[in-house]
A and B are shown apart, each in its own frame.
Chain A
Amino acid sequence: MLKTMMRRAGQCAVVAAACLMMSAQAAEPIKIGSFLSVTGPASFLGDPELKTLEMYVEKINEEGGVLGRQLELIHYDDVGNASSARNFASRLIRSDRVDIIVGGSTTGATMAAVPLIEQAQVPFISLAGAVVITTPVKKWVFKTPQSDRMAAERILADMKDRGITKIGLISGTGGFGSSGRTQTLEVAEQMGMDVVADVTYSGSDTDMTAQLTNIRNTKGVEAVLNFGFGQGPAIVTRNYVQLGMELPFYQSHGVASDSFLELAGSSAEGLRLPASPLLVPDSLPQEDPQKEVVQNYKAEYEARWDSKVSTFGAYAYDGLMLAVRAIEKAGSTDPEAVRGALENIQGYVGVTGEFNMSPDDHNGLDADSFRILEVQNGEWKLID
């Protein structure tokens, strides 16, 4: 039984490999591997990421590929499960023998694959947010989104500008919210601010009124920050308004997408969050170097997929473009050369921000790449 199954699996692989070989014309294609949370609870990350990768690999191939070779995208769906992510990373490295990996929608999925990738010595560009991914620096691991620490810094700085020093914090117990909570607590201490209320909700909760009531009854709270992603923050936002809370309200970059506005509706009015300029491409000043990149990505994505562009897809865009740039610069797909090239990329202007990589910084972004947006009349408005 097992034997026939393994053999059958082997046959499938052989057939698939044969097909691929036929489709590649001259040179062997450059293999770009990816494992993403295309379905499952983090699908709002993985879905636009995969769409972005597919469409730009196509586009690059039409334009002649990279180093005269076609790109081949091999991707798997980890359904948001860290151990599947690790297994698919292993499959990409050991079975598909990819040249570079661009993927890992969530921090959990990314970190589960990191030990393997470090040992296998394959360049890896993660699309997940937590600061632990690139701090401390890992030789083979890079990432495109700003870290949650930068988000916390940006939000708290904005609060401070408004004279707020006492914060009520509500966060999700999932990876994103939990890591965001830790960073917020640390940053608050450094900046001399007080987190006077600190409550959490789990990703599947359907009502956060109890937690918010707790914050409301805490003396001295001057503003509320919600760190989380998925539908949770939208429920928090609605409960916030239902409870009649009027303190300044902040969300994290985890909900920086138009679908959040749809879910939260009029309750979102007046809240602020840090986001990439992708949400407000037209309000960027003409001289902003990102303006053109952002506008193009938005137009191309929306034309191809007939759905709203999201910040998360942009992480994949930057990941792919960084990979292409590094391979071109290295002049080959030699892992060590590509890694070295990645590490020395300077001044790449992406959708998320301007990347300046270095041996000490495998993210390459600074907190200023976040813009502070506010919801006004149901739309994103650039504040800072």
Chain B
Amino acid sequence: MLNRFMQSRLRGLVILALILIILPAFLGNPFHYELVIQMAIIAATVVGLNLLVGFAGQISLGHAGFFGLGAYFTGIATGTYGWSSLPALVVGAVVVGTIAWLVGRPILRLKGHYLSMATLAVGFIIAIILNNERAITGGPDGMPVPALDLFGWELSTFGRYSLFGIEISGVQAWYILASVVLLAAVWFALNLIESPIGRALRSVHGSEVAASVVGVDTAKYKSLVFVISAIYASVMGGLYAHFQGFITPAVASFEFSILFITMVVLGGMGSTFGVILGAVVLKLLPQVLADFQELETVMFGLILMLTMIFMPKGLLPTLTAAVSKRMRKKAGGEA
């Protein structure tokens, strides 16, 4: 029963929605809201990355480059040129998608670690440009980003808003927005996976040669999913920039790329809900470990290492496997 429930994709979405609805009851203060909002934005990014890594089996070590480009495009368009947020996000996504398509054509011909290397190089080049073009990006000290504005309606974390007559705070409004965005991101990803495109992608992951032999245009699908994941990153980067109110080239850094891929692998490659869990854990860990001070890095490395050693498939797949195993045992015992 539970097993089937867990496997059903739509129900996964429902569970996620329920969690997001109940969660505010456990959020003590605005800072907790802020953490969850960031988790949601980052989680939506890795849901997109997971399409590339978990389903098409192509490892990107430069995804923060696209995230950073999206963040800076939004920041510059709204801050320097006074655009409204929505067009900035959309045009940013188109620009970043085009860039991803252009660089994706040659580099997606590469395999395995060489592809990782090439994505790493692309990410680095983007980060270097953001760092050096001081006149446009503010350089290494970063740039401020105005509050999100949707149709002339400004969403600041310090504002007060009214929703159907109920007064809510700025962080609560952001929380609702981030939740909706995350659910939409997940919904789109799930649909894509179930579509013919998704099946083609999974065949690429299984064996690229076999896939091309049976007539799947592997290059086309890989390039498509690369662009889609870059667009995910770009839009989320833009939202992140608005939410943070300030960005530095660190959003495009190699460390951030590594963090993204770690979230995917830790949570469970190929599991949309798993990678969300990965994002939550890795965002929460530094806050929880803050009290260890000097030992914070040691603890972080140790936890990461142990989790991957003992749960090589990732958190969620391992946990669900354990739960369903126990269920089966129980059912067997009762019978």
Residues of chain A within 8 A (CB-CB) of B31 are: 90-91, 93-95
- Closest B residue, CB atoms, query A121: B158
A179 x B250 contact (CB < 8 A):
no
B131 x A173 contact (CB < 8 A):
yes
B131 x A6 contact (CB < 8 A):
no
* C-alpha gap A91/B157 in the complex (Å): 14
Q: Which of A13, A87, A178 contacts B140 (CB 8 A)?
A: A178
A81 x B250 contact (CB < 8 A):
yes
Q: Which of A12, A39, A90, A178 contacts B141 (CB 8 A)?
A: A178
A108 x B156 contact (CB < 8 A):
no
A83 x B248 contact (CB < 8 A):
yes
User: B182 to chain A: closest CB distance in Å?
Assistant: 13
Interface code B16-54, partner A: CB below 8 Å = 1, 0 otherwise? 000100110011111110110010000000000000000
* C-alpha gap A169/B139 in the complex (Å): 18
- Closest B residue, CB atoms, query A16: B291
* B317 contacts A by Cβ under 8 Å: no
User: B116 to chain A: closest CB distance in Å?
Assistant: 21
* C-alpha gap A83/B255 in the complex (Å): 13
Q: Which of B26, B27, B158 contacts A119 (CB 8 A)?
A: B158
B23 x A115 contact (CB < 8 A):
no
A82 x B287 contact (CB < 8 A):
no
Residues of chain B within 8 A (CB-CB) of A7 are: 26
B144 x A115 contact (CB < 8 A):
yes
A112 x B134 contact (CB < 8 A):
no
* B191 contacts A by Cβ under 8 Å: no
Interface code A74-102, partner B: CB below 8 Å = 1, 0 otherwise? 00110001111011101101110000000
- Closest B residue, CB atoms, query A5: B284
* B277 contacts A by Cβ under 8 Å: yes
* B98 contacts A by Cβ under 8 Å: no
* B80 contacts A by Cβ under 8 Å: no
Interface code A104-135, partner B: CB below 8 Å = 1, 0 otherwise? 00011001111110011000000000101000
* B12 contacts A by Cβ under 8 Å: no
B23 x A112 contact (CB < 8 A):
no
B296 x A77 contact (CB < 8 A):
yes
* A182 contacts B by Cβ under 8 Å: yes
Q: Which of A6, A10, A13, A76 contacts B23 (CB 8 A)?
A: A6
Question: Which chain B residues numbered 234 to 265 have a C-beta less than 8 Å away from chain A?
Answer: 244-248, 250-251
* C-alpha gap A86/B28 in the complex (Å): 19
* A2 contacts B by Cβ under 8 Å: yes
* B142 contacts A by Cβ under 8 Å: yes
Residues of chain B within 8 A (CB-CB) of A16 are: 291
A112 x B244 contact (CB < 8 A):
yes
* B290 contacts A by Cβ under 8 Å: yes
* C-alpha gap A304/B26 in the complex (Å): 43
B32 x A95 contact (CB < 8 A):
yes
* B286 contacts A by Cβ under 8 Å: yes
User: B93 to chain A: closest CB distance in Å?
Assistant: 21
A116 x B245 contact (CB < 8 A):
yes
B246 x A111 contact (CB < 8 A):
yes
Given contacts A83-B251, A90-B34, A173-B140, contact A115 B290 (CB under 8 A): no
* C-alpha gap A112/B144 in the complex (Å): 8
* C-alpha gap A347/B28 in the complex (Å): 43
A107 x B141 contact (CB < 8 A):
yes
Question: Which chain B residues numbered 288 to 302 have a C-beta less than 8 Å away from chain A?
Answer: 288, 290-291, 293-294, 296-297
* A1 contacts B by Cβ under 8 Å: yes
* C-alpha gap A115/B290 in the complex (Å): 23
User: B281 to chain A: closest CB distance in Å?
Assistant: 8
Residues of chain B within 8 A (CB-CB) of A10 are: 26, 28
Given contacts A1-B277, A9-B288, A76-B290, contact A82 B131 (CB under 8 A): no
Given contacts A9-B284, A9-B287, A90-B31, contact A130 B141 (CB under 8 A): yes
- Closest B residue, CB atoms, query A81: B250
Most central of A9, A83, A91, A93 by chain B CB within 10 Å: A83
* C-alpha gap A274/B34 in the complex (Å): 41
Q: Can you name 20 extra interface pairs (CB under 8 A) apart from A87-B287, A130-B141?
A: A2-B23, A3-B26, A5-B284, A6-B26, A6-B32, A10-B28, A16-B291, A76-B290, A77-B290, A82-B248, A83-B248, A87-B38, A91-B31, A94-B29, A95-B28, A115-B245, A119-B156, A173-B131, A173-B140, A178-B140
Query: Closest 8 A-B residue pairs measured CB to CB?
Result: A94-B31, A95-B31, A115-B245, A82-B248, A175-B140, A119-B158, A94-B30, A112-B246
Interchain Cβ contacts under 8 Å between A and B, 22 examples: A2-B277, A3-B22, A5-B280, A5-B284, A6-B32, A9-B288, A77-B290, A82-B248, A82-B250, A83-B247, A83-B250, A88-B290, A94-B31, A95-B31, A95-B32, A107-B141, A108-B248, A111-B141, A112-B248, A113-B246, A119-B156, A179-B139
